[in-house]
A and B are shown apart, each in its own frame.
Chain A
Amino acid sequence: MSFYLVRKKYDAFDFDGYFASVTDRDVERVLAKNRLTETDYLALLSPKAEGHLEKMAQKAHSLTVQHFGKVVLLYTPLYLANYCVNHCVYCGFRVHSGLDRKKLSLGEVDAEAKMIAATGLKHILVLTGESREKSPVKYIRECVEVLKKYFTSISIEIYPLEEQEYHELISAGVDGLTIYQEVYDENVYAEIHPAGPKRNYRYRLEAPERACRAGSRTVNVGALLGLHEWRAEAFFTGLHADYLQSVYPAVEVSISPPRIRPYPGEYQPFVTVTDKNLVQYVLAFRLFMPRSGITISTRESAELRERLVKLGATKMSAGSCTAVGGRSNSQSTGQFEIWDSRGVAEMADMLYSQGYQPVYKDWQVV
């Protein structure tokens, strides 16, 4: 059964009614358990659980150290192209945004890769907008061939592909997929994706399953926080990760909790997700899935990222740039504004100062 059908079972679920029924005793009972059910996870996402954040944090910290050590994997994103045919109302890369479009030549990919590799990073995440015409799978594969010379682990964050296409990229050297559903609520999804191929909710939702079947080593899922009620979105992200881990146990499943950032456009977030909300989400997910990775990007401030190191984060970006070719050309416009602009060495120093070990390499294609 696809995750789409798992998700559908909750179409009529009364989240507000459930949250209103959660008591302090319910939260304490969940905190005493070793293995949480999906209902337990939802209890930890409830407003009532906000009164138990310190206890949740203590347990989340202890589980993270037990399973991962005081260790954080560093990576950086590389934007290959910003051509996009979608109409996502919240995104700086959307079609008709007036943005200057650009696609890196293979020579430019090589130049950017060289600059990134000089920082010591071995894990890279490559991104494109959705344009099968301008950034076809063949182009991405050619870029991967260049990047393989510099990096031992290459993940993709691109438009959803067919299983065979994922297989093609994995055979070329890709080992991980990041794809955000953006919003798990199907009605809201339709509203904020008014046109373009991304309107197909189910095709995007099932993309991680296709990647797992194609042999991806890792998949990273998430909802863009701010587009809809965050507690339900956090719940479905956790359910999605749990589903993938159960059906594809050999795959390393992780999540990201990205919050919407200022971008070149008019859309205002539907809800404000506070630091406290984000922390509650990270803690609840860590207790629900103790062995799964949690990625915190430079969308968050340096101060908050430092705090999140001890609350469950296992992977962080550093030296990020959201513009195509932005490392060699500072005039390029990014997809969104990054908040934590520290380079790799500064991030490593921060981790060391907290008693954590930065990891630059945690996989190589075999």
Chain B
Amino acid sequence: MALISSILALRRDARILKLPPYLSALCIIVGVVWLLVLPLNEYSRNTYVSENALLPGQVHTYFTGSEHNIFRAYRHEVAGLVDKPLEEKTQKLGDILQSSGLKVATQKYEYHSSGRTISGQNVYAILQGPRADATEAIVLIGAWTNMDGVVNHSGVALVLTLARYFKRWSLWSKDIIFLIAGDSTAGPQAWVDAYHDSHSPASIEPLSIKSGALQGAIAIDYPAGPWGHRFDKLHIVYDGVNGQLPNLDLFNTAVSIASGQMGISCTLQRMWKHDDSYQERLQTMLRGMISQGLGHASGPHSSFIPYHVDAITLQTVGDGWHDEMSLGRTVESLFRSLNNLLEHLHQSFFFYLLMQANRFVSIGTYLPSAMLIAVNFTITSIALWVQSGRPKQDPTPTSTDKIPSKTDMVAVKQDNMIALIPEASLAVIERSLFLPLAFVSSAHFLGLAPLYIFNNIPEAVLTPAFHTITALTLLLPHLTAYTLSLFHRPSRQETTLIQCLSLLLVGMFLSALATLNFSLSFLVGICAAPLTFVRPIFPPPASGGSAASSTFVAKNRIPLSLAMSALLSVVNPMVIIVGATRYWGADIVDVLVQAAEGWHVWGLWTQVVVWLVWWPAWFAGAVVVAGSVFAVPETETGKAKT
């Protein structure tokens, strides 16, 4: 009790109240520095396969010789189908799979987003494992077109060859599903949704044949044309939708088989050259974080991960001496490893940041960095809460002889020490919470408007809509502040409370988000960090005398507020989105179309975070700052009570 009451007494110490901005800044700095030291050898670890059953690279692979002729034949068959109508293509691919002795089925799908129609057809075949009881299955995916829209000639041909080849083995103890998806994002999504019966039956056909629970999925992206192309490296793509990642064991197995058994070097996050220096590790990690933060589908495997099916895409890159047979043997060995699994992949990490094909940091090491960023908002919020409960202080006298002699002092005695404290610093005034609560909750509801608009308007009007909403976003805080000032609201205390509640919510959302999607939480946290440090500048009370209005801040109230408003405008979500797309050379309409497709097809949540967490927080902060421009001096004083 004594400890609690001394802590309670401490919160009234004026020095404590000065501390939080510095503490918040410290949290942010430590959070960022924390992230920057992760690539060092002392903080990251070498990857290792922790699931014993996988035994990567322990089997001899037999995918050679005459299979090569079959592969070339299939590649020409595939090349002949490129310009054929959808039905004929599906029919032909189904026939090829059927001729290998597999059960074949097809699935039509159709999605609508941004006024476009995404439609196609999936073909898939099931190999019933000779030693399996149809309770578990692994998937081999070859999407007809890859993420860049290029026809995946050799990838599809390799899937067809492997289907024929795998069928002859008697050692499969899991079913194998060969999926030739219509495209790289919507097709696998439609298929995996229908596999788990969570599709919308109106536009997506149900699957006519199914197998057991999916244990893993491997996608092949090898767009070499009918005459082949030798590649240099394997690019392993592992990001799932909403930043979920596959179990690290799957990634490690792929790396260990490709580089250890086949001698193909592996790369990730489009780092074509990687000589394991600090800069390159950091760059890989940051690219991984941005990709995870955006949460978009990065390959045909991405749709599988939300269903707790670990999946990766193997993409061939560069000019080298590895041919399709090495890739085929890699996939064969990978499937033999997955075939060994006794239970779902669970041993290794689900939350990690990779900085090179065999170097990673796990969640325990990196999570504090995002949490520190989130905590900085909470610290300031608590400080503002305490500040809002303090009675308004008299303007600081300029010289000591002006100390009013009649200040009420209270004697506080503790542990034989007596201190005289001005009564005012002990009193807590009543907080009027209604307006702040209503304001903050309506700001968060207001975010629903852009969320709805961007996800539902057609592509043609996206550009004008984006510019209109950007302009509105920049103007709205000033308009709101002006409108509120007409009613002489919000008062000083209400302004503080608006900022307090808004920061409290941001801190809460970001710390919850950090557990789901670390990178998004970190990126939004960094972009929203200035909101912690802006403060409204209140006009001195009308009756306050000349001493108060002669300080620098009071004299330059309006220019300072305008400067803060301008600073906030720069970190506005819309401005940052525009800046980021310019920096990476992307087109804003493409980004918005992708986001809408993500919303309707993949179940992407990134825009919910942007519009319902980040945007309202920025809006509340901007209104608080803009309020100082329009604020009029107050005359009434807060009621003090015990």
Asked if chains A and B come from one complex, the reply is no
Task: Identify the B interface with A (CB < 8 A).
Answer: none
Interface residues of A, Cβ cutoff 8 Å to B? none
